[in-house]
Amino acid sequence: EIVLTQSPATLSLSPGERATLSCRASQSVSSYLAWYQQKPGQAPRLLIYDASNRATGIPARFSGSGSGTDFTLTIRSLEPEDFAVYYCQQRGNWPLAFGQGTKVEIK
């Protein structure tokens, strides 16, 4: 069973700064990795799928990269609405799994 480890657990940044979130898989998931954003009291929102493809309607400031076991979500310049929890999710190996989340908070 694949374990996804996200780091850091919490990222404290100011609006306008660049955010870099990491997701590491315990074994290769090829490029089958997605990123979601979740705000308090809301459902998750798909941002990136297959490591680097932006989902419909997702702003260009969000980008994903990586393959195999190491993946990165980058938010180029944080907007106030980007402060949230971010989860990675793999579909490359059974069973499907999510990471534990990274909280991006306002510094």
Residue of 45, 54, 61, 76 that binds another protein (CB under 8 A): 45
- Span of 20-28, 37-45, 61-69, 73-81 interacting with another protein by CB under 8 A: 37-45
Q: Which of 74, 85, 95, 86 is nearest to 29 (CA)?
A: 95
Residue 68 binds another protein (CB under 8 A)? no
Please state, in angstroms and rounded to a whole number, the distance separating the CA atoms of residues 82 and 107: 13
Please state, in angstroms and rounded to a whole number, the distance separating the CA atoms of residues 90 and 25: 8
- Span of 18-26, 47-55, 64-72, 76-84 interacting with another protein by CB under 8 A: 47-55
Count helices and strands (H / E) in the chain: 0, 11
- Name the token pair of 24: 């590491």
Per-residue binding letters, 88-107, with another protein (x by CB under 8 A): -x-xxxxxxxxxxx------
Note the residues at the interface with another protein (CB under 8 A): 32, 34, 36, 38, 42-46, 49-50, 55-56, 87, 89, 91-101
